[in-house]
């Protein structure tokens, strides 16, 4: 029996085939998946903010920020026996849910999250195989580590697979 | 120590009263706008983890029409008026008199969207005016923005400010409803008030209550 492993907001988790991993209601948040196809394993994070330097108090909840979440995903996958060179990534999210006349930095958080994930993955030389980012729709995503297909559901555009 | 740890039950009661006064005025405005009786429920004030916030409106992937305003002034924060999609459609039909609008065409109907936004503006305006009169704080809403999407996706937008200070939000939720012929309550929508962390002190202070360090 396969299970669907859930990842909450500002959280991360891991899945091995035949299980799949899922996170719901990504708005400006970004869902990033790092996987090792060879052993059908993956980790997923639901990131809210682009950088841990934004935290206003001392204790940083690491899965919330792009830099610390991606770091943890990579480190843990390596610990579980997947060498860095075999890791690949996919991501989705980073939408702008509300359209405003003003261009406040908080309103641009979606694109900033995406940019930040790209940068940190690049620093680890991990390739982004596919992505579905931006726009203004909420997304629910599910990743299957066996097929490495990322399924993206939106309310208006139905289901996409990347 | 996080600001949330310093909140006592008495503080929650004050916030409840704020929800009461604000949403009470908003419900009256909506009554006048629709020429129907609109009731409100006793507000609930809860400290919730981000992941549970969409439970108020039926789950993370529930489709809602959300009107979002940023509150500026002495106690900044975010405000949402969330309406389940079926109810939003009914509201728009009543406001525009156009019965051909359905919830699939809602988002592309300019007149309908504009009507719903304006309604959100009026309701939020009366909520904030009442709150401002009560606390003597200067509060102004930004123009409303609307989105029809998954509850979690729209709500997360209002959590960004808070998320830099913690993983919990103090939600002041007031449900407004209308009774039908059979006297069963139909939920019309939810008002969510999400003050920024420093705003709690401003609110309590304005009412002569202190938050102990």
> What are A74-131's pLDDT values in tens digits?
999 999 999 999 999 999 999 998 876 555 656 688 999 999 999 999 999 999 999 9
Going from the N-terminus, what domains does chain A have, and what CATH number goes with each?
4-161 (3.30.1330.200)
User: Among all residues of chain B, which has the CA nearest to that of A57?
Assistant: B165
pLDDT at A104: 62
Check if the beta carbon of residue B150 is closer than 8 Å to that of residue A25: yes
DSSP 8-class letter at B100? T
Domain membership of residue B137 (yes or no) is yes
Q: What is the pLDDT along chain B (213 residues), one digit of tens a residue?
A: 466 777 788 888 888 888 888 888 888 888 888 787 888 777 788 888 888 888 877 788 888 889 898 889 998 988 888 888 888 888 888 888 888 877 777 777 788 888 888 888 888 888 888 888 888 889 888 888 888 899 999 998 888 878 887 788 888 888 877 776 676 667 678 888 888 888 888 888 888 877 664
Tell me, yes or no, if A157 comes closer than 8 A to chain B by beta carbon. Answer: no
Helix (H, G, I), strand (E, B) or coil at A115: helix
pLDDT at B1: 45
Domain membership of residue B211 (yes or no) is no
Domain membership of residue B213 (yes or no) is no
Tell me the count of A-B CB pairs closer than 8 A: 94
CATH number of residue B47's parent domain: 3.40.1550.10
Domain membership of residue B190 (yes or no) is yes
Lowest mean pLDDT among A16-25, A40-49, B64-73, B109-118: B109-118
- To the query of whether residue A42 is one of the catalytic residues in this protein, the response is no
pLDDT at A112: 92
Contacts 24+ apart (CB under 8 A), A57-66: A57/B2, A57/B165, A57/B166, A61/A10, A61/B167, A63/A10, A63/A11, A63/A12, A64/A10, A64/B163, A64/B167, A66/A30, A66/A32, A66/A113, A66/A116, A66/A117, A66/A120
Q: Do B60 and A24 touch (CB under 8 A)?
A: yes
Radius of gyration in angstroms for the set of CA atoms belonging to chain A, rounded to a whole number:
15
Domain membership of residue B186 (yes or no) is yes
pLDDT at A139: 95
pLDDT at A16: 95
Tell me, yes or no, if A118 comes closer than 8 A to chain B by beta carbon. Answer: no
Q: Which of A9, A135, A157 to mutate to test the interface with B (most CBs of B within 10 A)?
A: A9
Name residues whose C-beta falls within 8 Å of residue B11's C-beta, 6 or more positions apart in sequence. B200, B204, B209, B211
Residue A143, pLDDT > 90, answer: yes
Number of domains in chain B: 1
Domain membership of residue B109 (yes or no) is yes
Q: Do B160 and A9 touch (CB under 8 A)?
A: no
Name residues whose C-beta falls within 8 Å of residue A39's C-beta, 6 or more positions apart in sequence. A16, A81, A82
Q: Mean pLDDT, chain A, as a whole number?
A: 91
Band of the pLDDT at A7, cuts 50, 70, 90?
A: very high
Tell me, yes or no, if A101 comes closer than 8 A to chain B by beta carbon. Answer: yes
Domain membership of residue B212 (yes or no) is no
pLDDT at A127: 95
Domain membership of residue B155 (yes or no) is yes
Q: pLDDT: is A66 or B47 the higher one? A: A66
Domain containing residue B50? 3-206
């Amino acid at each position: 029996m396969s299970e669907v492993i859930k990842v909450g907001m500002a959280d991360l988790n891991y899945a091995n085939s035949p299980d799949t991993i899922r996170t719901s209601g990504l708005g400006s948040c970004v869902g990033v998946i790092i996987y090792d196809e060879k052993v059908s394993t993956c980790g997923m994070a639901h990131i809210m903010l682009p950088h841990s330097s934004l935290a206003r108090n001392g204790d940083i909840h690491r899965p919330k920020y792009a830099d610390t979440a991606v770091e943890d995903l990579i480190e843990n996958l390596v610990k579980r026996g997947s060498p860095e060179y075999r890791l690949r990534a996919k991501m989705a999210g980073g939408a702008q849910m509300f359209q405003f006349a003003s261009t406040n930095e908080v309103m641009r958080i979606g694109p900033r999250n995406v940019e930040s994930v790209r940068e940190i993955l690049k620093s680890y030389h991990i390739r982004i195989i596919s992505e579905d980012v931006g726009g203004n729709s909420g997304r629910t995503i599910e990743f299957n580590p066996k097929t490495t297909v990322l399924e993206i559901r939106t309310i208006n555009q139905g289901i996409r697979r990347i | 120590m996080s600001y949330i740890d310093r909140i006592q039950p008495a503080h929650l009661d004050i916030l409840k009263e704020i929800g009461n006064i604000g949403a009470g005025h908003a419900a009256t405005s909506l009554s006048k706008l629709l020429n129907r009786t609109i009731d409100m429920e006793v507000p609930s004030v809860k400290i919730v983890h981000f992941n549970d916030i969409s439970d108020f409106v039926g789950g993370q992937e529930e489709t809602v029409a959300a009107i979002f305003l940023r509150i500026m002034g002495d106690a900044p924060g975010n405000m949402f008026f969330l309406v389940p999609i079926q109810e939003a459609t009914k509201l728009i039909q009543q406001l525009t008199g156009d019965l051909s609008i359905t919830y699939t065409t809602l988002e592309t109907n300019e007149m309908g969207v504009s009507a719903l936004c304006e309604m959100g503006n009026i309701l939020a305006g009366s909520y904030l005016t009442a709150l401002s009169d009560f606390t003597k704080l200067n509060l102004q809403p930004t123009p409303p923005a609307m989105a029809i999407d998954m509850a979690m996706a729209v709500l997360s937008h209002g959590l960004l400010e808070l998320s830099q200070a913690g993983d919990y939000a103090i939600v002041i939720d007031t449900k407004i409803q209308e009774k039908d012929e059979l006297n069963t309550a139909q939920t019309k929508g939810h008002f969510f008030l999400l003050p920024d962390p420093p705003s709690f002190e401003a609110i309590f202070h304005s009412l002569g209550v202190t938050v102990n360090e």
